[in-house]
Amino acid sequence: MSSRDELAHYLVQTRISGPVRTPREHNLANYRLLADRDPDYLFGLDPEGKWEFADILALMAHRVGVDPDPAYDSGEDTIAVERTIERLEAMAEVLRTFARPGTRVLIATGHPTGLLAVHLEIAQLLREAGAILLHPETRWEERESSGRSRERHLRFIRGVGVVARGANLLHTHSPEPVRRALAVLEENGEDVPDLVVGDHGCAGAAGAAGIPTVAFADSNDPALFVGEEEGLIRVCVPLDDNVAPHLYDPLSGWLRRCVATTAG
């Protein structure tokens, strides 16, 4: 992409931003669950503010661009494309700060499809800059909705942590993978990472631990934007977090270009 306008057009065309596929009713339901402090929607964070439903909706309208009207309760919702690009460029500034030899970075995603593609590109640009990508693999058991306990495994693909069960990669909102990864580092006598890049609970767990964290989040995942508002997350980029992986390539390319431009 040669310009912000071209990128904006592309993001709307592919529904990464603009009118997105995430339903309005799903957004509002999740805002209410966060207001109720449902652990599954806190992503490992413990916000200091009271954060009632109205506060969360107002924040999401401001930071993401969703419709601010609580009476609009079904249909299509929006992620403002200018917010996506603005926060992507803010993320580039943070990445540039840490893109240097010897910096220790942990990258992990709850999206083994979709956003994994972006995290892989971030891992590559940090690796090229000489940063050390951490690989604290760990196993634990987690109770599933069926009541059965099944093993989980944090594995790393080209520097990006993903959760696996056997041979399958799993979508997860849980903060447990990064909590466990940080525990492994501590057990091994290693310092916490200088930076964490993530989404869902992978970002939330790091932010809650006081580690500089940058993240991506969809319009139905308000916890990380609350975390950004309270200073627990450095930057949270709003976008649809589950389009076809290859569609994120121009976004990743723009991020890489911005890191290089900032560095120059």
Residue range 186-245, pLDDT digits in tens: 999 999 999 999 999 999 999 999 999 999 999 999 999 999 999 999 999 999 999 999
Q: Where are the domains of the chain?
A: 1-264
pLDDT value of residue 262: 54
State in words which class domain 1-264 has.
Answer: alpha beta
Q: For residue 261, what are its two tokens?
A: 């431009």
Do 258 and 92 touch, CB atoms closer than 8 A? Answer: yes
**Looking at residue 190, what DSSP letter applies?**
P
pLDDT value of residue 176: 96
Mean pLDDT rounded to a whole number for the chain: 96
Can you give the three-state secondary structure of 60-75, one letter per residue? HHHHCCCCCCCCCCCC
| Radius of gyration of the chain, Cα coordinates, nearest whole angstrom | 18
